[in-house]
Amino acid sequence: MTTFVLASQSPARLGVLRNAGVEPVVRVSNVDEDAVAAALPAGTTPENVVIELARAKARDIAVAIADQGRALAEAGRALPGEFTDSVVVGCDSMLLVGGQLQGKPLTPEVARARWAEMAGRSADLLTGHSVLRLRDGEILSEAADCSTTTVHFAKPEPEELDAYIATGEPLQVAGSFTLDGMGGWFVERIEGDPSSVIGIGLPLVRRLLAQVGVGATQLWSDPAH
Amino acid sequence: MTTFVLASQSPARLGVLRNAGVEPVVRVSNVDEDAVAAALPAGTTPENVVIELARAKARDIAVAIADQGRALAEAGRALPGEFTDSVVVGCDSMLLVGGQLQGKPLTPEVARARWAEMAGRSADLLTGHSVLRLRDGEILSEAADCSTTTVHFAKPEPEELDAYIATGEPLQVAGSFTLDGMGGWFVERIEGDPSSVIGIGLPLVRRLLAQVGVGATQLWSDPAH
């Protein structure tokens, strides 16, 4: 059986995968995202930025797995599944409001300013994924792409926005909202894949897995449950 | 504080509400849905069918709450929140594929036939809600509406469809898929509100609550968490 390695520490991504039948091995990369982005050619599209960031994270984990696998083998230790047959999935998401990249607001003041701009308007959520097929520490094949989902925001009343910001939820998420939490009250509609908005686009990952020769359902932890 | 009464036994709806900050009182109605639908005038639109079914369920619970509240009061017992100040939310969803209403497939054979029809195509998911504002057992006001979301299905490979049907997940759900479970691998995109596809449309419920004078955030179980 092929092991699914999630190269992300996001609890939201892990939750989507678990609900979708996959219990991944979680590995968190040490990629300097700012350095990766800065090294891209001028004029790189936002779509290619999220793809390259996802790829950098997946490769970082693939290298770590290869190194640890060698060390374990040399020590005569048994190799867990991710070292022998696995797919590593890297992820990166960004929200563009009026063409501008939105990060985490971190403070109530910034979150309030962002919502003043977003309310009643739409934004594009870009999610990039990189899928690496690993066998015994070697990268056999690789696929990557990006999906874009348009999110249409409601206009929260001032007291609703106060209550939402007071929960703290929007402060730590890129774009100042969640689709699957309390922010869901304030998203009127989307055009695209809701799982990509939460952070891991299941239909896109399925297509990329097929490109490296793995069926998504082969990764389900208990296909018969 | 106003109590949110969910007139549905759906765990998916309960999960959406909890993630969105509301811990509802769950009450399950005894409405004969077939009888309600049969009593509607010929030519009633699917949108009005789901609205009327949602309304019938909410009213059934409102009557039960009024009766129990009277009995508790006569017995000199304390009245929990739903008897003094509450909103009752009724829900009904249906999926239309090629204009045809889709129920629960129940058997693997029917699920397979449904997917043969749905794969690579789109369908409309209709979710109706009725919101009743109750005070001391009286219905003060009422609002109801329906939202429609278009769901575009992927084309699962035969072995993927076999694996999906083997999980049992699609057998017990109207439309033979879930958006927030394993079915999420096979939904390419939607146009509309993802929470309405899961069964309770948060932005629609928010609008209906506002119509009966209640802010959605007033219902959050712990506004300061």
Q: What's the CA gap between A81 and B135, in Å, rounded?
A: 59
Instruction: Give the mutation candidate from A16, A202, A207 for the B interface (greatest B CB count, under 10 A).
Output: A202
- The mean pLDDT value for B23-35 works out to 95
| Contact call for B20 and A202, based on CB within 8 A | no
| Contact call for B19 and A181, based on CB within 8 A | yes
| Contact call for A225 and B188, based on CB within 8 A | no
Confidence bin at A60 (pLDDT 50/70/90): very high
Confidence bin at A224 (pLDDT 50/70/90): very low
Whether B163 has its CB under 8 Å from any CB of chain A: the answer is yes
Q: What is the pLDDT of residues A129-157, one digit of tens each?
A: 999 999 998 999 999 999 999 999 999 99
- pLDDT of B77 > 80? The answer is yes
Active-site amino acid positions of A: 92
- The mean pLDDT value for B185-211 works out to 97
B148 vs chain A: nearest CA distance in angstroms? 10
Predicted confidence at residue A222, as pLDDT, reads: 65
Q: Are strands B187-192 and B138-153 parallel, antiparallel or unpaired?
A: antiparallel
Whether B6 has its CB under 8 Å from any CB of chain A: the answer is no
Mean pLDDT, chain B, rounded, equals 94
Q: Domains, chain B, ranges and CATH?
A: 3-219 (3.90.950.10)
**Residue B79 vs residue B87, higher pLDDT:** B87
Q: Which residue of A has its CA nearest to B160?
A: A217
Predicted confidence at residue A98, as pLDDT, reads: 86
Confidence bin at A12 (pLDDT 50/70/90): very high
**Residue A210 vs residue B172, higher pLDDT:** A210
Q: Which helix (H) or strand (E) holds A116?
A: helix A108-118
Residue window 168-207, chain A: list those with CB within 8 Å of chain B: 168, 179-182, 184-195, 202-203, 206
Predicted confidence at residue B153, as pLDDT, reads: 97
**Residue A224 vs residue B191, higher pLDDT:** B191
Q: What is the pLDDT of residues A15-38, one digit of tens each?
A: 999 999 999 999 999 999 999 999
Q: Which residue of A has its CA nearest to B188?
A: A203
Predicted confidence at residue A101, as pLDDT, reads: 83
- pLDDT of B43 > 50? The answer is yes
**Residue B128 vs residue A104, higher pLDDT:** B128
A215 vs chain B: nearest CA distance in angstroms? 7
- Among A68, A71, A65, CA closest to A85: A65
Confidence bin at B222 (pLDDT 50/70/90): low
**Residue A150 vs residue B174, higher pLDDT:** A150
Instruction: Give the mutation candidate from A149, A179, A185 for the B interface (greatest B CB count, under 10 A).
Output: A185
Predicted confidence at residue B224, as pLDDT, reads: 45
Q: Is B60 a catalytic residue?
A: no
- The mean pLDDT value for A107-125 works out to 96
**Residue B76 vs residue B222, higher pLDDT:** B76
Mean pLDDT, chain A, rounded, equals 94
Predicted confidence at residue B78, as pLDDT, reads: 87
Q: What is the pLDDT of residues A70-83, one digit of tens each?
A: 999 999 998 888 88
User: What proportion of chain A, given as a percentage, has pLDDT over 90?
Assistant: 88
Contacting residues of B for A1, CB less than 8 Å apart: none
